[in-house]
Every structure is written in C-alpha cells, then in structure tokens.
Chain A
Amino acid sequence: MAPRWILKLENIEKDFLFHLQQGTRIVVFDRFSHLFYPGRASILTGPSGSGKSTLLRMIYGTYRTGGGHIWVRHRDRPVDIAAAAPAMIYTLRRDTIGYVSQFLRVVPRVSALDTVIEPLLARNMDLEKALKKGRALLERLNIPSNMWHLSATTFSGGEQQRINLARGFIAPFPILLLDEPTASLDLKNRQIVIDLIKEALADNTCVIGVFHDPADHRDFADHTIDLSLMLNQEVMQPCTQKN
C-alpha cells in the first residue's frame, strides 16, 4: 500500500504584485503540485528568489495562496490552508504545523525560557512540566542556565537562533517547516540541530527544509526539490547519501 500523504500541494499559484514599484508582478508559483509524506525529509533547493521561503510561508499560511489548494491532513481530515478560516489556521499552527523561521522575533521582557515553552502552554501543558522540558532543551542546545531568565533581546545571533529552534522543537508537530535553521550556528550546535531533526523524523514528522549548506542535510534528507526546475516538472531528486 502506498503511504498516505500528509501535505498535498495541488496546482498552487503565487505572485507578488508590488503596487508601489510600478506595479511589478513577480510570479513565483504557477500551478505547482507536490506530495509530502510523514517521516520524510524534503529539502527545497534552487537559487535565491526561486520561492523556497515563499513555499514554506504559504504552507504556514503567512503568505496567501493565489490559486490552487494546500491540503494538510489535520486530525485525519484534509484541510485546505489556502481556504481555511482564521480559527482553523490558529489550530493548525498550534497542533499540526511547526515553523522555525530564520530569525527569532524577540519580545522585550519575555524570558528566553518563557519564549521556548509558549507552544507547550498553548496546548495546555502543565506549567511545571513545560518548564522542565524547556530547561532540558535549552541545556541540550548549550544555552547557559544564567541566560534562561533573560529576554533574548540582548542575545547574539546564534543564541537567538537556538532559542528559536528550541521553541520550534519543543512540541512535536506532524509537519515541521525549517527555514535555514542552521545558518548562524557553529559546528557543535549544528550537529545538535541535525540530531533534533533526525529524532523528529524518527517520530514520523514530515520535515520540509531550506538549508544554506548541503552538508547540513546530507545524512537525513530523503530527496531534494529543485524549485528552479518547476516548469519542466522534474523537480524531485532522490538523495542517496542518507545513512
């Protein structure tokens, strides 16, 4: 039996119309379709501007879809993100789709630890239990404990990135979107993030990611999707190096 998809892009369209720049229109997706499966890692490739981050943001519902459907299997039922009501998108973001952006959006006066455990509290986890999980993950990501209670406002780029990663990985999601999660990390922390991704995959999470350095996804990627080849449909390349 063929595995069941968890995410299905069906003829998606997206263009950006910049009214303030002489009405320039940029077409990013023109009836693009693709299926994604649980427990698989798909890496989006292509030169900058080819739509890698745009696709992640469309799946998360941040960018509105011009045409077509983005079906997500949510609690065993397909939901079209491109047409979902706001309340459904809030629920999807809480329970089904996780997203680690390139940069942490720092909130003044909110401690790093509180930032990290927010997704757990949103799922009504008991505070003590959430704090315990949060501390363990921050420790694993080498954030010194004397920084946990500070706002991330003053943290370095790499530290903020790790707070962002901890926030993204603290609660399990069936679908995890990663936008250059390793970009500002040193080798040691990079390996920790790669391990976290592998654990999510073993947990049957569908991972869709953009990585600056191919070395970072070499040992877990199932295939790459080259968005610059979208027009002739042969976007998918299997990865053979996975061990």
Chain B
Amino acid sequence: MTRMPENSPQPLLAVQHLSKFFGRQLGCHDISFAVSPGEVIGVVGESGSGKSTLLNCIAGRIKPSNGSVFFHSSEGMTDLCRCDEALMRKIIRTQTGYVTQNAAQGLKMHISAGGNIGEKLMAGGMRHYGQIRKMALAWLERVEIDPERIDDLPATFSGGMQQRLQIAANLVNAPKIMLMDEPTSGLDVSVQARLIDVLRKLVSGLHLSMVLVTHDLAVARLLCHRLYVMKQGEMVESGLSDQILDDPRQPYTQLLVSSVLKP
C-alpha cells in the first residue's frame, strides 16, 4: 500500500448527498464521503454502477441534480455546486487533476509531449520558455518517459506512455487532488505495473489525495487506503481496503470479491 496519510481533522474534499439523474435514468444516488489530505480513495463496482458519473460530478464536468461537493481551498470550504461558476472553474483548474481512461481524450494529440505539459504550466501562469522546457523534461523523467521524446507527438507514444504523459500534464501545477477514471484499464499487465508503480511513488512523494475509479480490485488494494463499493448508482459498502477485500459484508461486495482471481 501507499504511504499512510497523516491524521487531519479537515477533509480536503467532502461529497454530500450527491445525486445525478439523466432524465429518468439514475446516475448515482445520495452519495456522501470525505477525502483527507494524502488519502487515496478507491471507488469500485461493475460498469454502469455510476462510478464515472460520480467522478465527473466531483470534477465539475457534469452538474449534479442534488447535493454538494465541498472543496477545501485557499478560499476556505467551498461548495462547488453552489458557488460562482468562475470560482468553481478556478478551483477545478488549479487544485484538481483529471485523468481519463482514454489518454487521447486527456491530451492534445496534435502538440508535442513537452507542449502538453508546457501548456498546463502556461495556464498556471509560467511564461519563461527555458524554465517551462526544463520542468517538462523533469516531469517526463519522473513518469519514466525518455526525455529525448519531448518534441514527439503523443500519437507516436504507446498507450502506457500516453497515460503517464497525461498524469504528468495533470501534476505539473501541483494539484491537491487527482481524480482518475480507470487509468490502468486497456493497458497490458506489464505496462499497468509500471503505471501503478509511478502512481504509488507520486502519491506518497507529493502527499497527493486521489479518488480512483477502477474495476480492478488488485489495483485498488495496492493504491487505495479506503474503498467505496457502488452498485446501480448507490454506495453499498465502504471501509479500509483490506476490510472490503478480506472481510466483505454486503452480498454485492462478496460477489465482486469472489468473482476475481486473487485480488
């Protein structure tokens, strides 16, 4: 497991009674949970259980039907669902990162790898070209991409490299929390292992919080301190990762855990 977070009375993120309906279709219903600084939370469940909807609501990409997403920023505790739109955008842009399953969606494929990182730095206010390039090189190295590839287009990268580039581009502005939607699926096993290892090091090194949506229980055990289990839009069980995986209580969690080979 990754490094344990420190005790912290104030959560970084608190989701309260969050619901999302797409017309009459339920996305997620009455979800509440909190994330402490440095804590990695996993949201597990089968596809269609509302995991990604929940994550998108937190990331400000979908407007929830009901409930609140409180974020502890320099402005104090702000409800992203109630505050001024510009403030919400600013908090999301400067304090959160969002990594999608499909790296091509999270990257600009027509600009270079260095450009993808540099663009984020410029959005964060950096102007000095030499400095931007230097930081881009350092970040490529950090996510184990050969710095010589800095001027190559992401389209020439493998899936695993694209995913690591997407993570680097999200981390350059030092967000407090990373929201990740199935970052390891679609990658073959050895590539996955490398990505997970990179994530593990980043999380403990940067004291980063993370909400990780995944259906891979082995990944969840390795990276997450706590897990939330979702089924048909509802949160059915939560606890420490080892409690959920080694002592599941709810019928659905027992089914989930017993259906995989050695989580």
Binding site for B on A (CB under 8 A): 16-20, 57, 61-64, 86-91, 93-94, 107-110, 121-122
Contact of B240 among A89, A91, A108, A122 (CB under 8 A): A89
Are A87's CB and B7's CB within 8 A?
yes
The answer to whether B242 and A62 touch across the interface, beta carbons within 8 angstroms, is yes
Are A109 and B194 closer than 8 Å at their CB atoms? yes
Contact with A along B212-229 (1 / 0, CB 8 A): 000000000010011000
A-contacting residues, B190-246, CB 8 Å? 193-194, 197, 200, 222, 225-226, 239-240, 242-243, 246
Decide if A20 touches B240 in the complex (CB within 8 Å).
no
- Whether A94 touches B4, Cβ cut-off 8 Å, given contacts A87-B36, A107-B222, is yes
Contact indicator B246/A110 (Cβ below 8 Å): no
A17 near B249 (CB under 8 angstroms)?
Answer: yes
Do B7 and A88 touch across chains, with their CB atoms under 8 A apart?
yes
Find the residue from A61, A62, A63 having the highest chain B CB count within 10 A. Answer: A62
Contacts of B242 in A (CB 8 A): 61-62
B46 interface contact, C-beta 8 A:
no
What are 24 A-B pairs with beta-carbon distances under 8 A?
A17-B249, A18-B254, A19-B250, A20-B254, A20-B258, A61-B243, A62-B243, A62-B246, A62-B247, A64-B247, A64-B249, A86-B225, A86-B240, A87-B5, A87-B36, A88-B7, A90-B4, A90-B7, A91-B7, A93-B4, A107-B197, A108-B197, A110-B197, A122-B3
By a CB distance below 8 angstroms, the chain B residues around A62 are: 240, 242-243, 246-247
Which residues does chain A contribute within 8 Å of B255, judged by CB atoms? 19-20
Q: Are B193 and A90 touching (Cβ within 8 A)?
A: no
Q: Could you tell me the distance between the alpha carbons of A91 and B38 in the complex, rounded to whole angstroms?
A: 13
- Chain B residues with CB below 8 A from A19, complex form: 250-251, 254-255
Cα separation A104 to B246 with both chains bound (whole Å): 15
Rounded to whole Å, the gap between the CB of B101 and the closest CB of chain A is 21
Q: From residue B32, how far is it (CB to closest CB) to chain A in Å?
A: 15
How many Å from the CB of B89 to the closest CB on chain A?
A: 31
B74 within 8 A of A: no
Interface string of B1-17 (1 = CB under 8 A from A): 00111111000000000
Complex Cα gap A16–B249 (Å): 8
- Within 8 Å CB of B3, what residues of A? 121-122
Contact across chains for B246 and A90 when beta carbons are under 8 A apart: no
Interchain CA distance A93-B4 in the complex, whole Å: 9
B contact residues vs A (CB 8 Å cutoff) = 3-8, 36, 193-194, 197, 200, 222, 225-226, 239-240, 242-243, 246-247, 249-251, 254-255, 258
B133 → chain A closest CB, angstroms? 29
| A63 with B7, Cβ < 8 A, contacts A20-B251, A90-B225, A109-B193 known | no
Are A63 and B197 closer than 8 Å at their CB atoms?
no
Distance (whole angstroms) from the CB of B222 to the closest CB of chain A: 6
Closest to A17 in B: B249
CB distance from B138 to the nearest CB of A (A): 20
How many Å from the CB of B142 to the closest CB on chain A? 15
Nearest-CB distance from A12 to chain B (Å)? 14
Q: How far is the CB of B184 from chain A (nearest CB, A)?
A: 13
A70 to B222, CA, bound (A): 27
Find chain B residues with CB under 8 A from A64 CB.
239, 243, 247, 249
Cβ contacts under 8 Å, A94 to chain B: 4
A91 CA to B8 CA, complexed, in Å: 11
A18-B254, A108-B197 provided; 8 other pairs, C-beta below 8 A? Answer: A19-B254, A61-B242, A62-B243, A64-B249, A91-B4, A91-B7, A93-B4, A109-B197
Q: How far is the CB of A25 from chain B (nearest CB, A)?
A: 12
Write out the residue numbers on chain B whose beta carbons fall within 8 Å of the beta carbon of A109: 193-194, 197
Give Cα A203 to B255, complex, Å. 44
Contacts of B225 in A (CB 8 A): 86, 90
Q: State the CA gap A19–B253 with chains docked (Å).
A: 10
Q: Which 4 A-B pairs have the closest CB atoms?
A: A19-B251, A90-B4, A108-B193, A109-B197
- Residue numbers in A under 8 Å from B249 (CB-CB): 17, 64
Nearest CB of A to B153, in Å: 28
Instruction: Give A128 Cβ to nearest chain B Cβ, in Å.
Output: 17
Q: In the assembly, what is the distance between CA of A80 and CA of B225, in Å?
A: 20
- Closest CB-CB distance, B12 to chain A, in whole Å? 13
Specify which chain A residues have a CB less than 8 angstroms from the CB of B194 in the assembled complex.
109
Q: State whether B246 touches A63 (Cβ < 8 A).
A: yes
Q: How far is the CB of A49 from chain B (nearest CB, A)?
A: 16
Contacts A64-B239, A109-B194 hold; do A57 and B246 have CB atoms under 8 A apart? yes
Query: Which residues of chain B are near A89, meaning CB under 8 Å?
Result: 240
CB distance from A211 to the nearest CB of B (A): 22
